[in-house]
Amino acid sequence: MTERRVDGRIERGNQTRRLVLRHTVGVASREGLEALSLGRLAAELKLSKSGVFALFGSKEGLQLATVRAASRIHVTSVVQPALAQPPGLRRVRELSEAWLRYSRERVFPGGCFFQKVVPEYSSRPGPVRDAIRSADGSWRAFVRQTVSEAQELGELGTRTPADQMAFELTALWEAANARSLLTESDLPYAHARTAVRSLLADAAAVDSGFLGDLAEQPVGT
C-alpha cells in the first residue's frame, strides 16, 4: 500500500510537471524565459507555489526544464519528419518543409521558441545560456550533417561547403519566422520556400529528378 501511494504521488508530480512545461514553453515563446516565475505559474495554473517550487527548485530550474521541453518538441516537429526520409536531397527538402511548417502552424504560439530565447540570452552567461547554446548547436549540427550527406551522395554539389549552405538555409527559415510574426502573414513562408528551392537548384550536382519534386509541393504539406 505504501509503495502504491508513493508511486501515485510520483505520477501526479510528473503530470503536474508536464502541465507546467506545456504552459511555460508557450509563455517563453511569446515573452521570453525571463517572463517565467514560480509565482506566476502557480497563479495561472491554479497550483500552490510550494508545489511548483518542489518540482523545479528555482526560477533557473524552471527555465532549464523549459528549454529541455522546447528542444524535445522541436525534435519531434522538425528533426523526426526529416529523418523519415532517406539521406540525401529528399531529406534536405523535408527538413526545410518541416521547419517552415513548424513555424507557420505555431507549434509554439510565439513562433520558433529558440528564435525568441537565443537573442534574449546570447550575451548573458550562465546555465540557461549554456542549455540554449547546446540545443542550438545540436540543431545546427544536424542541418550541416543533412546537407553533407546529400553532398556525399552526389545530390548536392560541393562548391558551397556544407556549413555555409546550412547557414544560408537556417537564415531563410528564421527570416520567414520573424517576418510572419511581424506581418501576421503566411507570405514570408512562400518567399522562403522559393529561396530554398533556388538555393538547392543552384547547388544540385546533377538533374536527378529531385528538383522537380521541390517545385511541386506547396508550403505546409
Q: For the chain, give the longest Cα–Cα distance.
A: 68
| Residue 3 clears pLDDT 80, i.e. is over it | no
Place 7 in a pLDDT band, splitting at 50, 70 and 90.
low
- CATH code of the domain occupying 2-216: 1.10.357.10
Q: What CA–CA distance (Å, rounded) separates 174 from 103?
A: 9
Of the CA atoms within 13 Å of residue 149, those in its CB half-sphere come to 18
Model pLDDT, residue 218: 47
pLDDT band at 207 (very low <50, low <70, confident <90, very high): very low
Reported as a single tens digit per residue, the pLDDT across 85-133 is: 999 999 999 999 999 999 999 999 999 999 999 999 999 999 999 999 9
pLDDT for position 9: 67
For the chain, which residues make up each domain, given as ranges? 2-216
Residue 219 in this model has a pLDDT that exceeds 50: no
Q: Mean pLDDT over all residues of the chain?
A: 90
Q: Which helix (H) or strand (E) holds 179?
A: helix 162-183
**What H or E segment, with its residue span, contains residue 139?**
helix 127-152
For 147-171, write each residue's pLDDT tens digit: 999 999 999 999 999 999 999 999 9
CA distance 25 to 8: 26
**pLDDT band at residue 204 using 50, 70 and 90 as cut-offs:** confident
Provide the 10 A C-beta neighbour count for residue 103.
Answer: 25
Residue 51 CA to residue 42 CA, distance in Å, equals 8
C-alpha cell at 213: 519534386
- Assess whether pLDDT exceeds 80 at residue 220: no
Is the Cα dihedral 193, 197, 198, 200 positive or negative?
positive
C-alpha closest to that of 213 among 74, 85, 105: 85
Give the CA-trace dihedral at 45, 49, 53, 55, to 10 degrees. -40
Q: Which three cell numbers stand for residue 182?
A: 511581424
pLDDT at 21 over 50: yes
Kindly provide the residue ranges of all beta strands, DSSP E only, lying in the chain, ordered along the sequence: none
* CA nearest neighbour of 53 among 20, 7, 15: 20
